[in-house]
Amino acid sequence: MVSNIISFVSEDKIVEIKNPDPNETLLNYIRTKLKKTGTKEGCAEGGCGACTVVLGELKNNEINYKSINSCITLLPTLQGKQLILVEDLISKDGSLHPVQKAMVDCHGSQCGFCTPGFVMALFSMFKQYSRPKGEIIKDSIAGNLCRCTGYQPIIKAAQSLKNKNKIDHFSKNKKIIIKLLKKINNKSILIKKKDKQYFAPRYVQELKKIIKRNINANFLSGGTDMSLSITKERKDINSIIYMNSIHELNYIKNNTKYIEIGATTPLSELENYIKKYYPDFTKILKRYGSLQIRNVGTVAGNIATASPIGDCLPLLLSLNAQIVLQDFKKTKILFLDNFFINYRKTKLKKGQFIHSIRIPLFKKNIFKAYKISKRFDDDISSVCAAFNLEIIKNKIVSIRIAYGGMAAVPKRATSCEKILLNSLINHETINKAKEALEKDFKPINDMRASRFYRMEVAKNLLEKCYVEIKKAKTIGLYG
């Protein structure tokens, strides 16, 4: 069934919006149409968390609660989901939700501007974890900024939740919500409004038919890059194909040779899955935007954006990843090495989409990755580096090194690799390899870092990798 009516669940009811503006943000809808002003607007670019709301989505007959930034979420993408706002947390009898009560009891609010965002970020954590602590708490609120309370009282409020009874009015109504979500989960969306059109197919086959007739349409996945051209650059996006409605492409699997990630898989799911194979990949993803960003953002979007500071890109290049591209007729598999042409220019052709990403499994290799940014959490890299090497009897027998933030595109350090390949791993070789980085890169000065700083950092990260490997070998970690 194809419809121009968006259906979602709010306050235990199905709400319908006929033919919404495809460029309207969810935040705008909440504040100006629903007239619910608990959800705040701070930055309008996904960076402060003031606009955090929670979406409930059906997965394996359960509701998966995710915090998201409503300021960069386009309204039609609400189709088939449950929308939970800060106003919805209070029970019908007027009592506060355990998360709200914890914030009051621990004095977690002063001016209150950031508070609804924190409450919603903590609410999604409360629904997902039975005993949240440490890293889980930090991760849940790393995307929320507070400029007056200070974080300690908020962290205390979060810690106190581990002792709280998990039964709230959402768990009591779960069966009803699941039934409602199932009822609205059966349609694809086609909106035509003035000069704008929006498609949300549910299957790849349907997607291909849409592409054939709309070759210039823009693919939208998490929207964490694309929506900013609406909210910050004030541009219109006239033709959109929403990819994340295709559940068929939301998967991660592996065989003995590679991990395959479907294009619509959110980064927050990848960070859990890949930890077992490449712990440093997870380490970088944990510092990739915020949980709100990673709950919707995708690797496919990161690749297609082709930003020189896209964090997945040096990691994928060093792991020799491949991308599976499709258009309405053909499938093509390309090494990521051959994908980036120039600043934000790729080999992606009109009507071609990223279907999936394949990351080889190097079972004998050491994989290390580092991100340097001005702020530890929720900040863009100044430099990001990834090292993938195999060492046999102190000799480097294979190596792939890639950097972000050092050139117009994320790029391999091939001169540096040449020095290291088939060499003994020692301080002398590393010093030569560090010098070779000067041949590989001519970084630029910008507001994030100077050219000099970038080069120094790039060299130091290579040294850091060496020191860590040496230390690990001394204690027998790498044989």
Q: Which residues bind ligand FES (CB under 6 A)?
A: 41-44, 46-51, 69, 71, 109-115, 146-149
How far apart CA 9 and CA 222 sit, in angstroms, is 20
- Residue 289 or 404 having the CB closest to ligand FES: 289
Binding partner selected for residue 90 from ligand FAD, ligand FES, none, CB under the kind-specific 5 to 8 Å limit: none
- Residue 384 or 416 having the CB closest to ligand FAD: 384
Binding partner selected for residue 302 from ligand FES, ligand FAD, none, CB under the kind-specific 5 to 8 Å limit: ligand FAD
Q: How far is the CB of 108 from ligand FES (least distance, A)?
A: 8
Name the phi and psi angles at 165, rounded to 5: -65, 130
Q: How far is the CB of 394 from ligand FAD (least distance, A)?
A: 35
Name the phi and psi angles at 300, rounded to 5: -60, -45
- Residue 56 or 223 having the CB closest to ligand FAD: 223
Q: Give the CB-nearest residue to ligand FAD.
A: 301
Binding partner selected for residue 114 from ligand FAD, ligand FES, none, CB under the kind-specific 5 to 8 Å limit: ligand FES
DSSP string, 157-209: HHHHGGGS----HHHHTHHHHHHHHHHH-S-EEEEEETTEEEEE-SSHHHHHH
Q: Which of 279, 251, 280 is nearest to 263 (CA)?
A: 251
Binding partner selected for residue 229 from ligand FES, ligand FAD, none, CB under the kind-specific 5 to 8 Å limit: none
Supply the angle between the helices 115-128 and 134-141 in degrees, to the nearest 10: 140
How far apart CA 50 and CA 121 sit, in angstroms, is 10
Q: How far is the CB of 93 from ligand FAD (least distance, A)?
A: 37
Q: How far is the CB of 169 from ligand FES (least distance, A)?
A: 26
Q: How many CA atoms lie within 13 A of 289 on its CB side?
A: 25
Binding partner selected for residue 465 from ligand FAD, ligand FES, none, CB under the kind-specific 5 to 8 Å limit: none
Q: Which of 224, 176, 221 is nearest to 56 (CA)?
A: 176
Q: How far is the CB of 58 from ligand FES (least distance, A)?
A: 25
- Residue 368 or 434 having the CB closest to ligand FAD: 368
- Residue 111 or 467 having the CB closest to ligand FES: 111
Binding partner selected for residue 111 from ligand FAD, ligand FES, none, CB under the kind-specific 5 to 8 Å limit: ligand FES
- Residue 146 or 304 having the CB closest to ligand FES: 146
Q: How far is the CB of 296 from ligand FES (least distance, A)?
A: 12
- Residue 109 or 302 having the CB closest to ligand FES: 109
Q: How far is the CB of 375 from ligand FES (least distance, A)?
A: 15
Binding partner selected for residue 146 from ligand FES, ligand FAD, none, CB under the kind-specific 5 to 8 Å limit: ligand FES
**Three-state secondary structure string covering 213-272:** HCCCCEEECCCCCCCHHHHCCCCCCCEEEECCCCHHHCCEEECCCEEEEECCCEHHHHHH
Binding partner selected for residue 385 from ligand FAD, ligand FES, none, CB under the kind-specific 5 to 8 Å limit: none
The string over 437-472, giving b where at least 16 C-beta atoms fall within 10 Å of a residue's C-beta and e elsewhere, is beebbebeeeebbeeeebbebbbebbeebbeebeee
Q: How far is the CB of 348 from ligand FAD (least distance, A)?
A: 6
Q: How many CA atoms lie within 13 A of 300 on its CB side?
A: 30
Residues near ligand FAD, by CB under 6 A: 45-47, 218-226, 243, 263, 288-289, 293, 297-298, 300-302, 304-305, 310-311, 353-354, 380
165's tokens: 């009874």
As a whole number of Å, the end-to-end CA separation of the chain is 58
Q: Which of 127, 146, 357, 142 is nearest to 265 (CA)?
A: 357
Contacts of residue 152, defined as CB under 8 A and 6 or more positions apart, other chains included, come to none
Binding partner selected for residue 289 from ligand FES, ligand FAD, none, CB under the kind-specific 5 to 8 Å limit: ligand FAD
Binding partner selected for residue 270 from ligand FES, ligand FAD, none, CB under the kind-specific 5 to 8 Å limit: none
Contacts of residue 385, defined as CB under 8 A and 6 or more positions apart, other chains included, come to 314, 369, 370, 401, 402, 403, 404, 458, 461, 462, 465
Local structure of residue 43 (DSSP, 8 states): S
- Residue 98 or 222 having the CB closest to ligand FAD: 222
* Contact yes or no for 257/361 (Cβ under 8 A): yes
**Side chain identity, residue 101:** K
The string over 304-320, giving b where at least 16 C-beta atoms fall within 10 Å of a residue's C-beta and e elsewhere, is bebbbbbbbbbbbbbbb
Binding partner selected for residue 322 from ligand FAD, ligand FES, none, CB under the kind-specific 5 to 8 Å limit: none
- Residue 294 or 368 having the CB closest to ligand FES: 294
**Side chain identity, residue 260:** E
- Residue 69 or 322 having the CB closest to ligand FES: 69
Q: How far is the CB of 380 from ligand FAD (least distance, A)?
A: 5
* Contact yes or no for 372/382 (Cβ under 8 A): yes
Q: How far is the CB of 143 from ligand FAD (least distance, A)?
A: 7
Q: How far is the CB of 68 from ligand FAD (least distance, A)?
A: 11
- Residue 204 or 228 having the CB closest to ligand FES: 228
